[in-house]
Structure 1
């Protein structure tokens, strides 16, 4: 098989199509309403006719982005999902992310593939720990952030207090574009700060369809809402006096954030958010390759794989590699090169993904996310390209694990399925799979950022590969890279352990930081290096 030449398209066509793309992720602390907001956005774009709810009434569908059985049962997102849909003349690529801190590594990979992010805050809780961690990743990558204060239909904190918290805790200047009329729990609508009008929302049954909107001029709002409207106007004036008016440059350089108020479960304020994303969110820009050279959008096709997932379709345990298109035009069937292996890869089975649903994808442009099916040769961080010269984008670093467990098949007659499942989980990055000479190849060591990753791994081994597994937790919590294997004997003799990662890196495991400090004091000749965390 030879690599086909790059698909050529007029430069103006590629740039015009790229300009239509809006690729963003939704980030939040668990239970802030992220998956509900994701589906509400799809509802307002009219690509679904009725919204489900994560904790909905009996008989209602689960949200389209939560397709894994564990997600449906627990009502949380534990894997990222891609949704693509048209809205007006724009093409929206919306990436839902895991909310739970144990899946930070998956979220980091998703954030490597987007141009902006929506930071979702619970009106009663404000900035929470996982939100802070995810924002730090956005800051590190220079990703502009739009803030949506959710659940304003429930009792919560003061709106000005929430804005002050953005400044005090993360140094991000709030620039509210809407302002709530009525305190949290008494949500009457919002003041549109760009034209001074009042937008009143009307509820629909269970929030299953798009909320109705009525727009009133300031005089009409004052007559109908009285003190509530007056207070909203006064607070809006206060924001203007303190530098809270919208500044596009500050948004794009990620030093300030537009803020909107609403309720995802009732679909209040969601249309405003979608319109804002289409109007203001950054378009795709040239991505820097490993040589630190920006790859022009109209260069021949290139993309990088940021996620690999198996089992999305219960009828077929096929593997889907999600790739962000960085340049050029993609056409289904083209043969591209995997920069990691130098080998050709045929793209016959390319699909557009909408949650668990799929449809054949024929073309894609910079900013789009494509799903490549039966992509067993692809791994997270791989670069795909067409034509010459070759291109390779920076890989995606692994987080330092803090939890370790030995995995053993509970049913030895299923050992073959166990090994196949382990290989699959490792390729997807569900857990890091380490080899231990002390324990043998038949009993790999799982390493995870958070313990819930172990639950996902054991569930999938049982459900997808029919290979139940027993986990034996190990006492280690600290890991360091061991560049010189000659020092292995010192570590093994002192009760620590050395394991090997799939890329050949040797890792030294310690029970805690004290054990690490003692070893360094007794054996200063042993060189140990920290692992690079995802946000370093």
Structure 2
């Protein structure tokens, strides 16, 4: 098969939502319909014994939430589908923001009862900023929830989207009877199918079928006809070009837990979703069809297999073909590296691949060479944009609770910080280590993983900091900069890359510092030109 045909077969997308909207359950059902698994699990492990495939970390199984992006791949209708299931919890939003740099399109999951929630708004605003094509999936139709038109209005108003429904529910909650697939013009009736297995369902090709009225009743059929007529009058027709430009968002309805509406979503997604898209580097726009290989690291995960203490760098291939045992230039380090066992993923299961194409996600075994945002090329100097570290919102000293395990603790902190789980700051004054996170729940995850993956124990102490700002002096020899360093010494630290950081203890102190030392620029992200 030709190189361009291989690219056209790829579909790489992320699934985003507020926590508990059913994102990970939808991922499971997509895998089920794709034939990648025989039985789907549920995220809430107390309900169904089998845990979710994409929640493979022990803490995820216990808490019933996703705390790290997982990568899954399967084949469906001659297409290679790469799914990135992201954490919904706001404390892990940074992982999700980074993952959105590696996807070509997105599915947004919304709970029918709760509607549009805060975290969904934040994530969708990032997608809109980058013009990422989005499909909306309104989930949990078997539960009592908001009216379909009210939900469509809410999606338009709160998320600033322009929607067009490509499926429409017949009833809702206890009255839910099925879905009319506007995209393909057929009707699937819901019969309370098993939550785990894939079931056959009654299908009708026309609203005029006399058997359909017998099955759902005259009133439900008339309501459906009225709703479809109203929908056709209010919402624009589906236009794939507008969808690909991020100007129009198709909406599907369903119940992921009951396998309903998922196949309609998957079939349409395979038809309309974009092939791998070009990506902007600082130097130029890189096209997927270029022969020279390039890719970037958007995630690092330590201990995917705790028995082997392995550390994997997740690389999104942007252009060319990635070949096993071929040397590639690590742009930041300026040296060539060769990879003997690049992995493709199915949650925590991995298989070695010889060749990967644009759109694919490859896992590279890493001994400490990579950090998030690094670029691999066949020799060209490229830097892909948009993967900064953000200023954390919570800060705590980290202390060793077991002096016999100092080495394990140091190694554990080092590797977890490389993953981007949190940020490590070392105080200039006394060398004490401070961990900064976006959300407080991350401290619990770090403590749990240090103990269970590295055999090290830690405790925390509060450290009153308002904001971490990366320091960017106009001129390091400037007397004003030297005075800043002398006066603010006890508030200065270094991040893991050795960049100088100012830890402001209050908004007032930060503003006073900016007024007093105008030549010293302070940034809230670690990427600045």
TM-score normalised according to structure 1 size: 0.92
Are residues 1:527 and 2:520 paired?
A: yes
Q: Per-residue deviation at 1:397?
A: 0.9
Residues 181, 264 of structure 2: 8 Å contact kept: no
Are residues 1:490 and 2:487 paired?
A: yes
> CA offsets per residue over residues 262-291 of structure 1, 9 Å max, x none?
011111011111111110000012322221
Instruction: Tell me: CA distance 1:156–1:402, structure 2 relative to 1, closer, same or farther (3 Å).
Output: same
1:324-473 → structure 2 map (5 Å cutoff): 324-386=316-378, 388-394=379-385, 396-440=387-431, 443-473=432-462
Farther off after superposition, 228-237 or 147-156 = 228-237
Counterpart pick for 2:315 among 308, 323, 326? 323
Q: Which runs of 5+ in 2 are unaligned?
A: 474-480
1-structure distance, mates of 2:397, 2:76: 48
1-structure distance, mates of 2:288, 2:142: 45
2-structure distance, mates of 1:296, 1:97: 24
Residues 324, 342 of structure 2: 8 Å contact kept: yes
Are residues 1:213 and 2:204 paired?
A: no
Instruction: Tell me: CA distance 1:184–1:473, structure 2 relative to 1, closer, same or farther (3 Å).
Output: same
Residues 202, 211 of structure 1: 8 Å contact kept: no
Name the SS of the counterpart of 2:49 in structure 1.
coil
Name the SS of the counterpart of 2:472 in structure 1.
coil
Farther off after superposition, 288-297 or 82-91 = 288-297
Residues 211, 268 of structure 1: 8 Å contact kept: no
Partner of 1:8: none
TM-score normalised according to structure 2 size: 0.93
Instruction: Tell me: CA distance 1:181–1:27, structure 2 relative to 1, closer, same or farther (3 Å).
Output: same
Q: Per-residue deviation at 1:202?
A: 3.0
Size of the aligned set, in residue pairs, is: 517
Partner of 1:499: 493
2-structure distance, mates of 1:503, 1:186: 57
1-structure distance, mates of 2:173, 2:48: 30
2-structure distance, mates of 1:285, 1:59: 38
2-structure distance, mates of 1:427, 1:251: 36
2-structure distance, mates of 1:488, 1:391: 34
Residues 113, 306 of structure 1: 8 Å contact kept: yes
Q: Per-residue deviation at 1:325?
A: 0.8
Farther off after superposition, 318-327 or 373-382 = 373-382
Q: Per-residue deviation at 1:528?
A: 4.3
> CA offsets per residue over residues 130-168 of structure 1, 9 Å max, x none?
101110111111111000000111011111011001221
Counterpart pick for 1:232 among 224, 237, 249? 224
Q: Per-residue deviation at 1:43?
A: 0.4
Q: Per-residue deviation at 1:361?
A: 1.3
Name the SS of the counterpart of 2:297 in structure 1.
strand
Partner of 2:503: 509
2-structure distance, mates of 1:203, 1:209: 12
Farther off after superposition, 140-149 or 294-303 = 294-303
Farther off after superposition, 147-156 or 179-188 = 179-188
Name the SS of the counterpart of 2:226 in structure 1.
helix
Name the SS of the counterpart of 1:283 in structure 2.
coil
* Aligned residues: CA RMSD: 2.1
Name the SS of the counterpart of 2:508 in structure 1.
helix
The ranges of structure 1 where at least 4 consecutive aligned residues each deviate by more than 6 angstroms after the TM superposition are none
